[in-house]
Structure 1
Amino acid sequence: MLVPLTRDALEEIIPPIATGNQYSFYWGKWRDLLQRLFVSFVALVVTWLLGKLAGSGGETIKLIFDIIAGLYWLWGPVLWASVRNGKYRRYPYCGFWQGQVLDVFITEELVGEEQTVNKWGELVVIENRERQINIEVGDEEGFTAITKAPINRLYRVIKPGQIAEMLVLSKTPDLSRIDKITDVYFPQHNLWIGEYPYLRRDIFRQLSEELGGYSSDSSAKRGKPPIIRRRRR
């Protein structure tokens, strides 16, 4: 099932400013925080040097830049999440998509590389790999997509045949060509899976109840199999 949504709906579901989940995603781990602290330190040094070159004038402006630079470690995740949201918000058309899980499998993905020197002075490249869950979803019209995420034991409940929902984005008004997909929602488990939490989850859950017609208090508990409705355009 594919239900076109208005432009206003897209701008509401994918916010211009980072949500809490998106901020947490870009906050990252201790290594990411240390990198932002280093950037803040360098930026403070640069603004201090520029202030010395500029002389005694513009103290207020210098103070503002000092605050912005010094707090980059704190507001950086907001910036990068908002930039990522903006790339999706530029698509003119979107739709609510409902299908089902076709397959679930595990892969090892390259997530980064580090260069080091061994005891013989040789350059060694160390690959950082991470096991990820891959979930293939599709509908009766033949559309398929794969979403990935780091392995989490909560994802064990995802099985082929279960309902999957997401937002799809397109450059064509009839959504005949899907250019981007968002994180995937599994209403029977109230569970989200994806590389990045693009959506306002509270709003998407409302859409799921209104358009998807699935209630975890009804069909899931009665054990009914998921139903894929015919796509509407």
Structure 2
Amino acid sequence: MLVPLTRQKFEQLIPRIATGDQYRYVWGKFSDFLRRLLASVVAVVVVLLLRWLLGEGFGGLLLPFGVVGGFYWLWGPVLWASLRNAQYRKYKYSGFFRGRILDVYISEELIGREETVNNKGELVYVDNLERRLNVEVGDETGFSIQVQVPLRRSHKGIARRQVAEMIVLSNRADLSNITKVTDIYIPSRDIWVSDYPFLQRDVFVEVSNRIRRDRLESEEESPRTPRRPPQRKEPPQLPRQDREW
């Protein structure tokens, strides 16, 4: 099932400014914090050096740059997370997609290589491998997409045939060419499959519940037709909803 979303709802799902979850993700590890802190120190030193070279008269002009640069360690994650959001917000059209998990498996991926010296004094290379979860989601129309994310404990309950939901992005109004997808949500287990948390998750769950209720109401209101003898079976197709949310 594919339901087009209005631009207003899409911008609620992927905000312009970083959310708390996105900020925490980009904050990273302690080493990432140290790199930002070093950049802040360098910025302050540069501003002080310019003030010394240009004279006291430029102190008021350079002060804002010193403050902004000195606090880069704090506001840097907001900038980088917002830039990530902008990469997805540039797409003109979006839709709510509901399918099923076709396949799920674990793999090991090379994420880096380090140089070290062994006991014999020889230079050796050590591969850094990371276990990743691979999830393929599709529907009865034949559309499918595979997502790979770092493996986490919360992924333990994921299995084939479970209902999976996500937001799909396209530059075509009919969503015939899907370019990007966001986090995968498995409502039966309340599990999110993602690396970077693109979505406002509470807004997404609200949209999911609303679409599910509307679909049930439409099925209840539709008149029941008497059963007929079975005819030649056509390939099943998952209809695209014309109503936007």
TM-score, normalised with respect to structure 1: 0.87
Change (3 A) 1:129 1:122: same
Q: Deviations over 1:78-137 (max 9, x none)?
A: 010000000100100000000011111011122234445678887654432210111111
User: What corresponds to 2:152 in structure 1?
Assistant: 152
Q: Which residue of 2 aligns with 1:232?
A: 241
Q: Which residue of 1 aligns with 2:138?
A: 138
Equivalent residue for 1:2? 2
**RMSD over equivalenced CA pairs, Å:** 2.1
Structure 2: which 5+ runs fail to align? 215-236
Give runs of aligned pairs for residues 1-233 of structure 1, distance below 5 A. 1-115=1-115, 124-213=124-213, 230-233=239-242
**Partners of 2:22 and 2:86 in 1: how far apart?**
13
Q: How far apart in 2 are the matches of 1:15 and 1:147?
A: 22
Is the Cα contact below 8 Å between 1:147 and 1:195 reproduced in 2?
Answer: no
In 2, distance between residues paired with 1:65 and 1:114?
37
Q: How many residues align?
A: 220
Equivalent pair of 1:183/1:199 in contact (CA under 8 Å): yes
Shift of 1:198: 0.4
Q: What code does the residue aligned with 1:172 have?
A: R
Equivalent position SS for 1:44: helix
Name the SS of the counterpart of 1:198 in structure 2. coil
| CA 1:51–1:134: 2 relative to 1, 3 Å | same
CA distance in 2, matches of 1:38, 1:118: 32
| Rg (Cα) greater in structure | 2
State the AA in 2 paired with 1:231: R
Q: Do the aligned partners of 2:168 and 2:181 also contact (CA within 8 Å) in 1?
A: yes
Relative to the length of structure 2, the TM-score reads: 0.83
Are 2:97 and 2:166, in contact at CA under 8 Å, matched by a contact in 1? yes
Show the counterpart of 2:231.
none
Task: State the Cα distance separating 1:164 from its structure 2 match.
Answer: 0.5
Q: Which amino acid aligns with 2:23?
A: Y
